[in-house]
Amino acid sequence: MTAVITRVSRRLAGTALLVAMLGACSSTAPTDRNAMPPVKSKADAQAWARQITEHMARTAGIEIDPTTIDAFFSPCTGRNGETASDDRYILMYTVKSSVPRAQHPEAVRKVRDMLVGEGLDVTGYRESVDGKPDALVDAFHPNSRYSATASTSGGEDRMYLSVITPCLLPPPASVSPTGTS
């Protein structure tokens, strides 16, 4: 019984952490286009995105294929293609998972419900195309300004989970874990 309570406590503690993590940038999130972006190192941004996708995977009951992790850092660009000199960046973080196609709608439904519960707005959703299972949920966190996607991928039994961060500013003299390849 004690063990069960401990597990539940841990789970609740984990949930609280995830709630904090899912809105991790909200305290500094700007709404003004000219405001400075939130400060976050690339390593922290990657850890943040990884935690969100892992949470999505657990929610959906699917397993991430660790060989498919793709963390892509890209410079923030303005509407005329201009870039700032302070190394501000976005992260596009994607993982894939093998999931039988028939299970995609249910997996996506679970992720949608979780994301909505965490305060994200759903921007795109479907469960089928032409009557066949082909599911996706796109959602956007209005405060932290990141987007999350769970979707059927090309091919038969693949799904992907992805996070795109808002523009972030690395702390001074931070070291990149990977380059913008």
Contacts 24+ apart (CB under 8 A), 27-34: 29/143, 29/144, 29/145, 29/166
Closest approach, Cβ 84 to another protein, in A, equals 10
**Considering the rule CB under 8 A, would residue 171 count as an interface residue with another protein?**
no
Q: Are 105 and 127 in contact (CB under 8 A)?
A: yes
Q: Which residues of 30-54 are buried (b: 16+ CB within 10 A; e: fewer)?
A: eeeeeeebbebbbebbbebbbbbbe
Of the candidate spans 3-11, 52-60, 110-118, 133-141, the one that interacts with another protein by CB under 8 A turns out to be: 133-141
Q: Are 46 and 177 in contact (CB under 8 A)?
A: yes
Report the amino acid identity of residue 34: N
Q: Among all chains, which residue has been given the structure tokens 């913008």? A: 180
Residue among 70, 100, 113, 171 that touches another protein (CB under 8 A): 70
Query: What x/- string results for residues 75 through 114 when contact with another protein is judged by CB under 8 A?
Result: xxxxxxxxx---x--x-x-x-x------------------
**Considering the rule CB under 8 A, would residue 140 count as an interface residue with another protein?**
yes
**Considering the rule CB under 8 A, would residue 50 count as an interface residue with another protein?**
no
Residue among 97, 145, 169, 170 that touches another protein (CB under 8 A): 145
Q: What is the largest CA-CA distance in the chain?
A: 62
Of the candidate spans 7-15, 16-24, 110-118, 128-136, the one that interacts with another protein by CB under 8 A turns out to be: 128-136
d(CA 46, CA 43): 5
Q: Which residues bind another protein (CB under 8 A)?
A: 29-33, 35, 37, 70, 72, 74-83, 87, 90, 92, 94, 96, 123-126, 129, 134, 136, 138, 140, 145, 147, 149, 151, 153-155, 158, 160, 162, 164, 166-167, 176, 179-181
